[in-house]
Every structure is written in C-alpha cells, then in structure tokens.
A and B are shown apart, each in its own frame.
Chain A
C-alpha cells in the first residue's frame, strides 16, 4: 500500500460533449471542447512542466514553465491558457523549450532556500520536481543577489505555517482562496519584486482566513504546509475515507505514516467535495488520539461511585445482565436504545436490530429526532420519501437559491463554497433567517433579499411567498397538472390565496417587509431553476413538519422539482443523519422508511432475524426520558450521542437519566451523558473502523479503517457482543456483511455492496434494479408516491411566547470551527477560534440592559438559567438573542424548553422566551454542574496512578 496519487491535469477538465481532435507530440488525442493544451496532453499521459497551474484552479499563465510550440503559431504559448483546437499540432518538448524552461527555473531557484534535505516538503515539492523535470543542473546567477530569503515565518495558524522565504508567488494560494473556498482572504501585496502573498496585511490567524486548507493544498512548495507534516514527516501510504463531521460527507485521503495520521487531504474524486475541505475535516482530527479518550470498559453500581475499569467480557456481561434484570423486573418495554448520526450505517442498522430483535420492542430512536425528523415526515407526505432531492452538483445549474434556516458557511462550509461559486457566476440568492448570516453579504456574495423573519414564523413567511405566487398567476400549471394531485392543489391554492396569507397581512407576524416578500416570491417563481436549501432553522420548531411541507408545496407549485438545478434540499447537520434515518433507527419504522405495522415488511425481517417483531411504535427520545422520570423506563443504551448536552431542557434530561437503573454509554469520551451512566463502553473514531456514511445528497460513501480501534473493538463489534450476551446471537465478521443484510432487506439499497462502492467510489440511493447507477436527482418523471401531494399549511404560532418576564427570543445554532456538542472539536486547536459560547445581542437590547461586549450576562428562561459572555452586534435583530451550544460548561440547553414539533417531537430549539441581564458569574446550575461533573467522572485508581 502506498500513497494514492491523483493525476493533476493542470487545468480543470471540461465536460462539453463536443470532442475535438488535435495532435500532441505526433500523437492524436480527442478531448472535450474547451480543454487546455496542458490538460489535453495530460489525458494522454504527457505531463508538461508547470508551477502556477493545477486542475483545481482556472489557468493563470504566470510561471512560464508550461510553454509549448504550436505549428503555425509564433512564439511559445503557455499550454495552460491555450485552448486545444481541432487540427492543432503541439510540441511539448524540444531543445528550445527545454532551454527556456531551464532559464525560468534558474530564476526561481536563485531566490529559493537550498535546504531541500531538511525541508518538510522534501519529496512532495513541485518546485523540486520541476527542477528535476527540466534538468536543472546549475544556476548561472548564483544565490547572492537580491532575494526574499530569511523572512519571518507566520506560525499563527495552529494547523499550518506560512514561510514567505519559500514562496514563488505563483498565486495558487490566492486563487484557491478565491475560486475554491470563496473567502478572498489572501492577496498579493506589492508589485514586481516586492510582490508577496498576504492574508490582508497581518497574521493568518487574525485574518479573514477560515483555515479550509485550500491554500495549503494548492501550494507547490513548502511555503504553506501542514504543521503535522513538519512534525512527523512525509506520509508513506494513504487510504480514502469519509469525514465524520457535517452532512456534506467530504472524501479525504487519510495520509499515514504507519498507524499515525500525518494529514487529511481532500480527495478530488470525492463527489461531495471535489477536492475541497473545511477547517474541521481537514485539520480537526486530533481528537481521535486525544488523551481524554477512554480506552477501557468501565462499570459502576451508582453514578456517585467511582468508575471501575474492567475487561470487555465483564463490562458486556454486566450490561447484559442488568438489561435482562430490568426486563424481568419491569417488563420488556422498560429498556431502549439511542443510535447516533455520527455512527455508520452498519452500526445504526445493528443497533435497531438489537432493539427490535434482541430487546423485543421498538424503543429505538436516533439523534435525528432532535434535528431532521420533521424532514422525514414532511417530505414523505409530499413526495413519498424522506430524502433531499438533488446531488450537490445540481447547484451549478441553479439560478435562484433560497436558503431558509440554514447557515451553510458555518454548518456546511464545503457545500457553501460550491454555492458561493454559483453566486459569483450570477445566480441570485434569497436568505430567510432571523440573523444576518455571512451569506447575506460577504466577499463577492450579496443576497438579493434578506428576509429577517422573527423566530417561529417560518410557516407564515413561506405561506406569504406562496400567496404571491398563486395570486399573481406565477404557478407552473403544466407541471402541477402533470405531476401532482390536482384536487389537492386546488384546495391548497384556494387556501393559500386567502387574504390572511398575504405579505401585507403577515408582515406584522413575521417582521418582514411585505414588499420584500413579494419581490422574493417573484424572483423565485420566475427563475428558470430555483432551489430551496434548508437546515435546522426550519425543522426545530413546533411547526417544523408543517414548514417542510410548505416548502414542498412551493417547489411543486413553481415546477422546481425533478430535474437538475432545483429541488428541496435538507442540509443535514451531522455526517450520517440521512443514513441513520434510512437505517430504521426511528421507533416507528424499519430501514427504508417502512412502518413497523406493515405486515409484509415485518415478515421480511422476522424471517431473516428469526424472531417475532413488535408491530407498534416504540418510544421516541423525549418520550423515553419522560417515561424514565415517572419511573417506567429503566435502561438505555446510548451509542455516540450526548443527550445531556445536546437535548433540550437539560435538567429534565438529566432527571430522566438519573432515574434509570442502567445507562450504557458507548462513546470516545466521558461526555456529559456518561456522568449518569453505569456502564461505559469505549467507542471508536471514524479512523478506527469500516463502514459507510450517507450524506445529505443520499450519497453512500465508504469509511475505511486506517488504524486499529484504540480500545480493541470497533463500535459494531461492541453491539454484536452485547447482543450475543443478551441471548440474541449475531454472527458478522465484517461490516460488509451488515451492508449485505441491509441490501437484501431494504429495496432502496438493493444493489449496494462494498464491492460496488469500492469500484465506483460512492453511490446515491435508491440503487436497485430500477436505478442500477444510483439516483443523483429524485422524482424525475414521477414522485416516489406517484403524484406530488399539496398539504394545507396553516400557520399556528408556537405556545412559547414572550412576555414581561421573558421578553426576548433565544435562538441557537452552530459556528464554523466547532461541531455540535464540541466533544470532538473542543479537543482540537479549533477551540482557538471559539473558546466559549457567547450570547449575541442587538445594541438596542444591550443598551437597555447596560450590557457591553465581554460582559458576563445571565440568560434565563422558564426552564433554567445560565451565564455567558455577551457580544453586542447587529447580526441579530432587536428582540432576538443567539448563542451556540458547543461548550458543555455553558449549558445552553439548560435554557431551551420541551416544546416540540407537532408531528415528530423534534424540539423547538429555535424559539425560547428569555430574559438577559448583567451577571457577576456562573449560574447556580453551572456551579453545581461543574462540581458534579468532576465527581461523576472519577475513575478508581487514576489518582493513584497520577501520584505514581
């Protein structure tokens, strides 16, 4: 096994269907029209020397190394900027070209440190390669002339260093920041000999740089290089795997030295990211070997006891014995399990199998309960299945993008870069968000309309937009007649045309100017291709499911579904939200979204699993906790989820956990939930196991093991062991066998196998005999349910109301550098960008309360009170405050409430009535929680070991 080499064609490959034929070095070659001479040469295996060119970037033509001769043309044009033409005759190598290139290289090398042997990029340096390629043997100018050597290195970024002495000013980093990432943080300062790369005149860390790593990847020298490479050395083998952070599901090459990760390099063949990355996936993987990892199983009788390290056999045996006892004592339904969207499809499938077949009930739920469960309900009703309709590539043909309740630049940054690229090409943008997110206005991006609605009024807003479309005759009637239930449409059109949905009537509810709603509606409806992208700002509301259906109505009414460039697209929060839902981890349905009451589906599983299965829905996460508080639910197995930090109304969650007699937590770290656990089973990171993740575009990507599980078992092996100990034997020897079982029981996965994934890289479900190549775009000729269904979406205000005690609305979300509960990112250098959760408050509300930025403030709701620092800013509107939930010690969810979506119980995180006042320090809860946290995590023997 060696390093996976990816061909660099020098300039982007073109997809034009019209081919042209030219001759390069006497050999005919056919390429799509628009292909550069450089890329054409590379398609036949001829690598023309280059430095400023790379196929992630548009050609620039500055290094003058890729010169060629073209018959009938004067001079020596740069092959990167010269398009191939039919009949062209190109020479890539002769003595004239060789001499010219050597001359260019002489100039570069005369101003470059000659420290190749001790340089971190030794062996992976394009400048070094080119010196070899052009046959450089001498530098006639010597090395004593005016140069750029000895400049100060910028080590301010925690992950990469910038050494201007080694820079050849090829501008690849600047162009990568612009073209690939879309941040425009880098520039070339100065002119001529004084030209230098600069992150805005200061240090990298203090600049606009978002540490996506695109510049480091583009750099052909050691100027921008990962600090991990400097520390460890060059990798010697690599494995393609999938990032375990957000729902974009980026493919990476894990570049290794032995079993140590040297760096994660975004994989160009990865269809979700096409060679791009963000600060989390690219750099924040150090948590996998963090000292906080728990690698030994542990048990204890009470949560006030010290943890006792035990063998795997003892831990599994104890867990099984406790669960058997609980079922004997309290009944078969007294236990359940929570799967995680951070885990693989195979692990999730096993967990729900363990519950349904091993526990004998349907008490299994997933953390998608608290994020995208309304997507499942809403899209299934409207279209027939719970899935985003497009692939990410579809955005390249979108003309109007409607972003609702999502903050892609922070939550889904790699997709945001694709979105921003399309916006730079001229697509229009509508942002509906209470906050002024970066997409509203940032470098070379400006939304045509920002609709700053009040939290909790999504449905009123989308109804108003649809009202305009219906009453102004902007419906795509041909589409609706052909593709949708006409009677339902008529009923919906009558409903939505009612006066109380008009923008002018709803402006007071939504807080959005009626004229902006009308203009945005017209822009969306009249676009050739309009697409909706949404996030948890849609789903985490009391009307989350209604809002999903309202967006589906809008897409169908305007004919924006079933082809490239359009669609209704949930941006999934965690890496495997889509997969967790697909795999049957909801208590009411099996894999492939088939209800447990369906006799035919149950028969498939009963026959294969050899047990009778329950036909009634199990408990959802909030229901489990409620049942625990009243004493009927006694045991819970939680894999990869930290409900004590992530779920709403923390004190209710912990009361539920405390009331249980056996809580089993399987995780990398002793997280907040583990404080209430009786059995701790060490988990394995994504680097330690095989499996698959399914991203937001339904793309099934392979996760490949690059190191052995630190605790000795991969997560799926732990579930198998527990099942065996409970008396329901499982006999898998590799996750590929679990996928085979998924395929043979789940029609949408029928043709999926590891062999297919290895061959094709990835596949989008449905993948079966009807769609053997997978399904990039859904609902092309017909909806999964046949005809699309319009649903009536009356706006019903949440019961969470502001008033004199709690006059402000709190809404919560994420930030770029941190990920969900922060268990992973807090254990990396990413925390340098976000060391604590802060409360964003508008200057008007801040002034009324005498608050300035940096003040400690108390944030109180009827659920609880916390303290955190304030940031006074106009990103939020008056009356609205915002914070993140990444830091356990902040406890943002102490404040959120138990209100939830009517259909799915998805918590209403986005609307909590609160009061804010100046404070002197932590709240009572925070003080108590910090003290308890230390006591509840103590491990017997560790104090002694430390003393020794």
Chain B
C-alpha cells in the first residue's frame, strides 16, 4: 500500500474519534488502529510519519506515539 494512502486512512479514523466525547481522540484512534490494522500496516505508517508527518492529522501522530510506547513496553 502506498504510505500516503495509509496516512489518509488513519486521518479518516482520527476524524471520527475527534468528534467522540468519551475518550481522547488519540486514544480512540490508537485503539482502533490496534484492533483493526495489521502490524505491517502499522509499521509502514510509523515509517511514513517519521519521514513526513505533514499530511497526518495531529491526532494520528498522537495515536502513533501511544502505540509505539505500548509496543516498546511489550
């Protein structure tokens, strides 16, 4: 998958969770990515954000930071 498409897909998820009241948007996005995205896709997303985070919604960047923390811990 093109890495920019992954960012676009993650942005879509962030847009949904941005409107939800019961959790932070980054937490919601991170949890959704964990539940539904394959680790290969997540790795590609991380790589793309490392290379060029400009197209990413800040919520996505926050979500990825949370996911990375968890994966480092585990």
Contact = CB atoms under 8 A, between A and B. Distances in A.
Given A588-B35, A595-B35, A626 B21 contact: no
B64 interface: no
B36 A588 contact: yes
B5 interface: yes
Nearest to B42: A616
A794 B39 CA distance: 29
Given A597-B35, A792-B19, A903-B36, 14 more contacts: A362-B38, A587-B38, A616-B38, A616-B39, A617-B35, A617-B38, A618-B38, A619-B41, A627-B40, A630-B1, A792-B20, A793-B19, A902-B9, A904-B36
Contacts of A904: 36
A620 B35 CA distance: 12
A588 B39 CA distance: 12
B29 to A, nearest CB: 10
A116 interface: no
Q: Which 8 A-B pairs have the closest CB atoms?
A: A626-B1, A902-B12, A794-B19, A491-B21, A792-B19, A619-B38, A616-B39, A796-B15
B56 to A, nearest CB: 15
Interface string B26-51: 00000010111111110000000000
A587 B19 CA distance: 27
B5 A791 contact: no
Contacts of A587: 38
Nearest to B13: A902
B22 interface: yes
Q: How large is the interface on A (under 10, 10 to 19, 20 to 34, 35 or more residues)?
A: 35 or more
A632 interface: yes
Given A630-B1, A902-B12, A902-B15, A792 B36 contact: no
Contact of A488 (B22, B32, B36): B22
B67 to A, nearest CB: 12
B13 A632 contact: no
A623 interface: yes
Nearest to B10: A902
Contacts of A488: 21-22
8 contacts: A546-B16, A588-B36, A595-B35, A619-B40, A623-B38, A632-B40, A794-B16, A903-B13
A792 B1 CA distance: 30
Interface in A480-509: 488, 491, 495
A333 interface: yes
> Interface range on chain B: under 10, 10 to 19, 20 to 34, or 35 or more?
20 to 34
A620 B1 CA distance: 12
A617 B13 contact: no
A463 B2 CA distance: 34
Interface string A62-98: 0000000000000000000000000000000000000
Contact of B5 (A595, A626, A632): A626
A195 B51 CA distance: 81
Interface of B: 1-2, 5, 8-9, 12-13, 15-16, 19-22, 32, 34-41
Nearest to B21: A491
B31 to A, nearest CB: 11
B35 to A, nearest CB: 6
A542 interface: yes
A546 B15 CA distance: 11
Contacts of A619: 38, 40-41
B9 A617 contact: no
Contacts of A632: 40
Nearest to B8: A799
Interface in A581-637: 587-588, 595, 597, 616-620, 623, 626-627, 629-630, 632
Interface in A730-758: none
A491 B1 CA distance: 37
A829 interface: no
Interface of B is mostly: helix
A836 interface: no
Contacts of B37: 617
A629 B1 CA distance: 7
Contacts of B21: 488, 491, 792
Contacts of A627: 1, 40
B38 A903 contact: no
The interface centre, meaning the residue of A619, A620, A900, A902 with most chain B CB atoms within 10 A of its CB, is A902
Interface string A888-919: 00000000001010111100000000000000
Given A902-B15, A903-B16, A623 B1 contact: yes
Nearest to A905: B9
A626 B2 CA distance: 8
A587 B40 CA distance: 13
B23 to A, nearest CB: 12
A542 B35 contact: no
Contact of A542 (B5, B12, B32, B38): B12
Contacts of B20: 791-792
The CB with the most chain A CB atoms within 10 A, among B22, B32, B40, is that of B40
Contact of A333 (B35, B36, B40): B40
Contacts of A792: 19-21
Among A617, A620, A629, A796, the one with the most B-chain Cβ atoms within 10 Å of its Cβ is: A617
Contact of A902 (B1, B5, B16, B38): B16
Interface string A251-291: 00000000000000000000000000000000000000000
Contacts of B32: 903
Contacts of A363: 38
Nearest to A546: B16
A500 to B, nearest CB: 12
A903 B9 CA distance: 9
Contacts of B5: 626, 898
Contacts of B40: 333, 619, 627, 632
Contacts of A597: 34-35
B11 to A, nearest CB: 9
B1 to A, nearest CB: 3
Most buried by A among B16, B19, B32, B41: B16
Nearest to A331: B40
A144 to B, nearest CB: 79
Nearest to A789: B22
Nearest to A616: B39
A905 B12 CA distance: 11
B14 to A, nearest CB: 9
A495 B8 CA distance: 26
A627 B21 CA distance: 35
A799 B7 CA distance: 14
Nearest to A619: B38
A791 B19 CA distance: 9
A133 to B, nearest CB: 65
Contacts of A616: 38-39
A791 B20 CA distance: 7
B21 to A, nearest CB: 5
Q: Give the most central of B9, B34, B39: most A CB within 10 Å.
A: B9
A30 B16 CA distance: 60
Contacts of B13: 902-903
A118 B16 CA distance: 69
A460 B18 CA distance: 17
A796 B18 CA distance: 11
Contacts of B12: 542, 796, 902
Nearest to A587: B38
A791 B16 CA distance: 10
A552 B9 CA distance: 24
A903 B35 CA distance: 10
A798 to B, nearest CB: 10
